Amino acid sequence: MSITHDEIKKIAHLARIKITEEEADATIKKLSGILNLIEDMKKVDTTNISPMSHGQLVTQRLREDIVTEKNQREKLQKIAPEVNGGLYIVPQVIE
């Protein structure tokens, strides 16, 4: 199992990680080893085996739909890279 240069670039884009051409090539080598390791799973017959998403087969707990958090906007925005008037500032996305 190997992965192509173009695939790496596509995945990196999906993951929102900028990657240089050289980094993409270096990554192919390391990912291939890991993907080969993962290929071992194919040998196993899993027909009729249900998937297990948690360590214990428990269902998601529900809670009352009530407000439990108080407004801490100033405290939480103190650690933001850029805020203005209580808003997080990002580059313009709408013309």
Partner 1 sequence: MQDWSIKQLSSLLRDKKTSSVEITTDYLASIKKKNPEINAFITVDENLSIAQAKLADERIEKGEGDVLTGVPIAQKDIFCAEDWLTTCGSKMLHNFIAPYDATVVKKFNEAGAVNLGKTNMDEFAMGSSNETSYFGAVKNPWDLTRVPGGSSGGSAAAIASRMCPGATATDTGGSIRQPASLCGLTGLKPTYGLVSRYGMIAFASSLDQAGPMAKSSEDCAMMLNVMAGFDPKDSTSIDHKKEDYTKNIDQPIEGLKIGLPKEYFAEGLDGDVAKLIEAAINQYKKLGATIVDVSLPNTNLSIPVYYVLAPAEASSNLSRYDGVRYGHRTSQYDDLMDMYSKTRQEGFGEEVKRRILIGTYVLSAGYYDAYYLKAQQIRHLISEDFKKAFQLCDVIMGPTAPSTAFKANEKIDDPVTMYLQDIYTIATNLAGLPGMSIPAGFVNKLPVGLQIIGNYFDEARMLNVAHQFQKATDWHKAMPEGALL
Q: Is 86 in the site for partner 1 (CB under 8 A)?
A: no
Distance, in Å, from the CA atom of 55 to the CA atom of 60, rounded to the nearest integer, reads: 13
Position 70 contacts partner 1 (CB under 8 A): no
Positive or negative torsion for Cα 44, 49, 54, 56: negative
Place of tokens 């801490």: 72
Which amino acid is located at 91 in the chain? P
Residues 21 and 81: their CA atoms lie apart, in Å, by: 29
- Applying the rule CB under 8 A, the residues between 17 and 56 that interact with partner 1 are 17-19, 27, 30-31, 33-42, 44, 46, 49-56
Q: According to the binding rule CB under 8 A, does residue 58 interact with partner 1?
A: yes
Binding site for partner 1 (CB under 8 A): 3, 7-8, 11-19, 27, 30-31, 33-42, 44, 46, 49-56, 58, 60-61, 63, 72, 75-82, 88, 90-93
